[in-house]
A and B are shown apart, each in its own frame.
Chain A
Amino acid sequence: MTTAPPKPVDAKPPVPAAAPERIKAKQRPGDVIFSTSTIVAGGLILAILALVALFLIVQSIPAFVADPAEIKGSPSSFWAYVAPLVGGTIWAAFLALLMAVPVAIGIALFISHYAPRRLAAGLGYVVDLLAAVPSVVFGLWGITVLAPFVQPFYSTVVDIFGWIPILAGPVSGTGRTILTVAIVLAVMILPIITALSREVFLQTPRLHEEAALALGATRWEMIQMAVLPFGRPGIISASMLGLGRALGETMAVAMVLSVSGGFSFDLLKSTNPSTIAANIALNFPEAHGVGVNVLIASGLILFVITLIVNSIARYIINRRKAFSGAN
């Protein structure tokens, strides 16, 4: 797919070496207008991101200085209001990642190294279909199909493993717990992790693979020795991008999770921490006054968290691009 892209050309016509003086390209009005407009468009992207940060900060300031009594649920401070949400966001995204990454690596390996060549592209498209499903449909599915489906399993698990702290009962009667949410999130971030890992696995130098096989390695040993070490940075950054997606996912969480205040690690109880994004979506339509600012401030925190996660991921990807011999 992504082979080495050709370097863009330089516009200047070749100058004869003996020429005493460089012939400058004629600056036509069309050229000036066109190149300026492309620069303006590029600059707009800088401006938009700056504006996003600026306006979120401006609208959040009232929340930081507000009287805590005006905040919904009257917590002791703004931070006491946000902390459980941050905890819930990270906990749900972490659980989703824990489930999605092994499966995604498996799928990526299946498509890149196990499936018959002819089928591989089609199978990749099938996984991409998952990415095309809108999140609100995932929410609807999670609450009407998945939650009732997994609830009996949760009961059984609590009966048998209830002595493990995070699996403690009493079990949720609806199945709308943070574990269900994490399953839905895992399904939603599968395509992005799969797509990126697959790309990286396909870039493994052919000679490394063939050398391993020629030395008598089985297919799994070849993957262990050649493909996985080569693809490790790719897997890590793909997981980070998936994590960023899971952190910001709104509707599926808002619809599926049955929320109560506070934070806990319990997976199967009906008392679950909410996430920042879901909390905004659920409370924004009715919010007014300082409540709006509080929600925007929590959005700002979410923005910062995802920004950090995504930047790390991009940093790993870009560093690898520069040093790998594959492209």
Chain B
Amino acid sequence: MTTTTVPAPPMTNTLTAGKLPKATPWLLLVGSWIVMGVIFGLLMMAGVTADFNIVGTIFFGTVLFVIVLTVVSRLYEGVRRSKDRMVTSLVSLAFIIALLPLISLLFTTIVNGAHRFDLTFFTYTMRNIVGEGGGGLHAIMGTLQITGWATLISVPIGLLTAIYLVEYGRGTFARAITFLVDVMTGIPSIVAGLFAFAFFALLTGVAGIRFGFGGAVALSILMIPVVVRSTEEMLKLVPNELREASFALGVPKWLTIVKVVLPTSIAGITTGVMLAIARVIGETAPLLIIAGFTQSMNYNMFNERVMTLPVFVYTQYANPGSDAQAYLDRAWTGALTLILIVMLLNLAARVIARIFSPKLGR
């Protein structure tokens, strides 16, 4: 390694010799930002740009930092170390890049959604509303009902399939199901909606059929594989000793599963189900197709169109009336409500997993 240009103090620590001091990258980063800030400041004063370009400063400053750090490290520490430093900064940068859209998205949704995040929004529907006022109660109710039905359909199927795969399944049939569950995970949501439409249109003979239960069927196609996957993982975590102890006491297999295996893994299964709900509750495309959209409340899942929250957001944005801003505000509030529901579900799922998971490892 080329360690020639170390300004050596009388006593060198051989472990750190030939290395840049720890603070160097941070100093270089701040330095590059300042340099770029000065450049952009000069540009502003020269009148090239109207105001101070802070995005450009940070962006080009960071690019400059990566280049300078690599060059400095190359001079003092050699090629290999400099490459290492470059990759470290790039990898950290990748993480920050991913955070930017998340922060921006949450920020805009909260700021724009707060305008109409009031009592009216949660107590009124859009029936006979033009322009301001009105709310998304019908959409919230529709979302809760359709998701509830979807959960009712998918949880038994998903749970039993997972039990089959873990406790009973052997051979080709089990492998085929495993593969198909994987395939099902990849079905585009809009295709699920089209299937529900094609299925019920042929079944009932109504050409342009729209009703809530169809939406629940479409959602459960998306939800079943998620439930199967997570439940399977959880059942596999149940220690075999528990099953064997139960068998040794003469308990039949089905009772072993119902009384020993499921209670042990119930926390994990609940978490998986809640995450699955969180995944499908934000689906727009299938509901747009089979549940349709309406301005009124509809509690009947088997007749007529049902509004849902994601579709509400989309239609408020896509078909604004005379006062476009009112519609946009409602769309953002709908989006905020949706995000809040999803986040709450996620949070609850994690809390349940943490509190109720069986204490193994004794």
Chain A residues within 8 Å of B, Cβ to Cβ: 2, 5-9, 11, 13, 25-26, 28, 30-31, 33-35, 37-42, 44-46, 48-49, 51-52, 55-56, 58-59, 102-107, 109-111, 114-115, 123, 126-127, 129-130, 132-141, 143-146, 187, 190, 194, 218-221, 223, 241, 244-245, 247-251, 255, 277, 280-281, 284-285, 288, 292, 295-296, 299, 302-303, 306-307, 309-311, 313-314
Chain B residue at minimal CB-CB distance from A59: B198
Query: A281 CA to B81 CA in the complex, in Å?
Result: 52
Is A110 a contact partner of B91 (Cβ separation < 8 A)?
A: yes
B17 within 8 A of A: no
Known: A56-B194, A144-B108. A106 touches B93 (CB 8 A): yes
Chain B residue at minimal CB-CB distance from A113: B91
Q: Find A136's partner among B157, B186, B257, B310 (CB 8 Å cutoff).
A: B310
Which one of B61-69, B118-126, B176-184 is at the A interface?
B176-184
Query: A288 CA to B168 CA in the complex, in Å?
Result: 47
Chain B residue at minimal CB-CB distance from A296: B194
Which one of B20-28, B35-43, B280-288 is at the A interface?
B280-288
B236 within 8 A of A: yes
13 residue pairs bridging A and B, Cβ less than 8 Å apart: A34-B254, A38-B160, A41-B159, A52-B191, A103-B94, A107-B91, A133-B102, A187-B98, A248-B191, A292-B208, A303-B187, A309-B186, A310-B185
Q: Find A140's partner among B93, B192, B335 (CB 8 Å cutoff).
A: B335
Is B161 a contact partner of A45 (Cβ separation < 8 A)?
A: yes
CB distance from A151 to the nearest CB of B (A): 13
Is B84 a contact partner of A221 (Cβ separation < 8 A)?
A: yes
Is B188 a contact partner of A136 (Cβ separation < 8 A)?
A: no
Shortest beta-carbon contacts, A-B, top 4: A248-B188, A134-B282, A106-B94, A41-B160
CB distance from A138 to the nearest CB of B (A): 7
Residues of A within 8 A of B288 (CB): 281, 284-285
Residues of A within 8 A of B332 (CB): 140
- Total number of A-B contacts with CB less than 8 angstroms? 290
Is A106 a contact partner of B90 (Cβ separation < 8 A)?
A: yes
Is A45 a contact partner of B240 (Cβ separation < 8 A)?
A: no
Is A42 a contact partner of B183 (Cβ separation < 8 A)?
A: no
Is A218 a contact partner of B81 (Cβ separation < 8 A)?
A: yes
Contact mask for chain B residues 318-347; partner A; CB cutoff 8 A; 1 contact, 0 none: 100000000000011001001100110010
Chain A residue at minimal CB-CB distance from B81: A218
Is B184 a contact partner of A45 (Cβ separation < 8 A)?
A: yes
Query: A42 CA to B169 CA in the complex, in Å?
Result: 9
**Interface residues of B, CB < 8 Å — how many?**
103
Contact mask for chain B residues 157-173; partner A; CB cutoff 8 A; 1 contact, 0 none: 11111011111110001
Is B180 a contact partner of A250 (Cβ separation < 8 A)?
A: no
Known: A59-B201, A219-B84. A11 touches B253 (CB 8 A): yes
CB distance from B84 to the nearest CB of A (A): 4
Query: A107 CA to B285 CA in the complex, in Å?
Result: 30
Q: Find A277's partner among B98, B174, B190 (CB 8 Å cutoff).
A: B190
B278 within 8 A of A: yes
B356 within 8 A of A: no
Query: A310 CA to B159 CA in the complex, in Å?
Result: 24
Chain B residues within 8 Å of A, Cβ to Cβ: 80-81, 83-84, 87-88, 90-95, 97-99, 101-102, 104-105, 108-109, 112, 156-161, 163-169, 173-174, 176-177, 179-192, 194-195, 197-199, 201-202, 207-208, 221, 224, 228, 233, 236-237, 239-240, 243-244, 247-248, 252-255, 257-258, 278, 281-285, 288-289, 292-293, 310, 313-314, 317-318, 331-332, 335, 338-339, 342-343, 346
Is A45 a contact partner of B224 (Cβ separation < 8 A)?
A: yes
Query: A103 CA to B283 CA in the complex, in Å?
Result: 26
CB distance from B209 to the nearest CB of A (A): 11
Residues of B within 8 A of A106 (CB): 90-91, 93-95
Query: A315 CA to B252 CA in the complex, in Å?
Result: 37
Known: A103-B97, A106-B95, A218-B80. A251 touches B284 (CB 8 A): yes
Residues of A within 8 A of B88 (CB): 114, 219-220
Known: A110-B92, A247-B188, A310-B186. A126 touches B102 (CB 8 A): yes
Is B180 a contact partner of A45 (Cβ separation < 8 A)?
A: yes
Query: A40 CA to B180 CA in the complex, in Å?
Result: 15
Is A255 a contact partner of B160 (Cβ separation < 8 A)?
A: no
Residues of A within 8 A of B186 (CB): 241, 244-245, 248, 306-307, 309-310, 313
CB distance from A147 to the nearest CB of B (A): 13
Is A35 a contact partner of B168 (Cβ separation < 8 A)?
A: yes
CB distance from A134 to the nearest CB of B (A): 3
Residues of A within 8 A of B165 (CB): 42
Is B157 a contact partner of A41 (Cβ separation < 8 A)?
A: yes
Q: Find A134's partner among B190, B207, B310 (CB 8 Å cutoff).
A: B310
Query: A37 CA to B164 CA in the complex, in Å?
Result: 9
Residues of B within 8 A of A302 (CB): 188, 190-191
CB distance from B325 to the nearest CB of A (A): 12
Residues of B within 8 A of A145 (CB): 104-105, 108
Query: A35 CA to B173 CA in the complex, in Å?
Result: 14
Is B247 a contact partner of A6 (Cβ separation < 8 A)?
A: no
Query: A45 CA to B335 CA in the complex, in Å?
Result: 33
Chain A residue at minimal CB-CB distance from B95: A110
Query: A125 CA to B327 CA in the complex, in Å?
Result: 33
Is B313 a contact partner of A137 (Cβ separation < 8 A)?
A: yes
Known: A136-B314, A277-B190. A59 touches B202 (CB 8 A): yes
Q: Find A303's partner among B84, B104, B191, B236 (CB 8 Å cutoff).
A: B191
Query: A303 CA to B80 CA in the complex, in Å?
Result: 47
Residues of A within 8 A of B167 (CB): 8, 38
Is A13 a contact partner of B247 (Cβ separation < 8 A)?
A: yes
Chain A residue at minimal CB-CB distance from B197: A296
Known: A38-B163, A310-B185. A107 touches B95 (CB 8 A): yes
Query: A255 CA to B158 CA in the complex, in Å?
Result: 33
Residues of B within 8 A of A39 (CB): 164, 168
Residues of B within 8 A of A115 (CB): 95
Is A49 a contact partner of B183 (Cβ separation < 8 A)?
A: yes
Known: A55-B202, A303-B187. A8 touches B95 (CB 8 A): no
